[in-house]
Structure 1
Amino acid sequence: MKPASHHVTTCKGCRAPICWALTTANGKRQPVDATPSAEGNVAVMQGPDGLLYVRSITADRPEVRPGEWQAMPHHATCPSPPPRRSSRTGQGTGPLRSVPRQGRQW
């Protein structure tokens, strides 16, 4: 099985076809290669809401079920990934400055 054409987009870094899917573990978006792969370590499926969902293939659940296809996370195959945004605001933005104290000194 492979993704429907309306789910396929291109990677900004390498221009390869990818799909964005929501992880079943925490609902975060994850890019996966649009081309199915027997070496892939994730299973992708389209949910009843029309969205794509991805789960890890683990020792507990190693089989790909009907309606799923096996794929690689695109982070593992992209030769030129775009820079990742920091999830913490203000981190890595430059040197820290001391802030002058105002008011009472404790």
Structure 2
Amino acid sequence: MKPASHHITTCRRCGAPIVWCLTSANGKRQPVNAQPTDEGNLAVTQGADGLLYVRSLTKAHPEPRPSEWRAMPHHATCPSPPPPRRSSDGQRAAAGSVRPGPWQR
């Protein structure tokens, strides 16, 4: 099974065809390669609301259900992945750092 053409868009970095799915675990958006593949570790399905949903294939559930297709997360295959994110001030907070202000009671 393949995604419907109205779901397919392109990656801004590499131009590859992708689909945006909502994760079943927490509802966050995840880019997934639009082309189904036997090597994929995700199962994608279209919900009754018309949106695409994705879940990880695990040892407990290693195969997609009949209404799902196997896909690969786009971040795993993109030749131009985004740079790593930094904290807002550009530095990481040191573990055990001193509180910046006095304690107030």
Aligned counterparts of 2:75 and 2:52: Cα–Cα separation in 1: 17
Aligned length: 92
1:92 to 86, 90, 93: 90
C-alpha distance in structure 2 between counterparts of 1:64 and 1:12, whole Å? 29
State the TM-score, normalizing by the size of structure 2: 0.81
In structure 2, how many angstroms separate the alpha carbons of the residues matched to 1:31 and 1:70? 14
Computing the radius of gyration from Cα coordinates, the structure with the larger value is 1
TM-score, length of structure 1 as denominator length = 0.80
Unaligned 5+ segments in structure 1 are: 94-100, 102-106
| Matched position secondary structure for 1:20 | strand
Contact persistence 1:40–1:70 (CA under 8 A): yes
Letter of the 1:7 partner, please give it: H
CA RMSD of aligned residues (A): 1.7
| AA of the residue aligned to 1:76 | A
Name the aligned partner's letter for residue 28 of structure 2. Answer: K
Residue type at the aligned position of 1:26: N
- Does the CA-based 8 Å contact 1:12-1:82 persist in structure 2? no
What residue identity is the alignment partner of 2:39?
A: E
Pairs within 5 Å for 1:1-106 = 1-83=1-83, 90-92=88-90
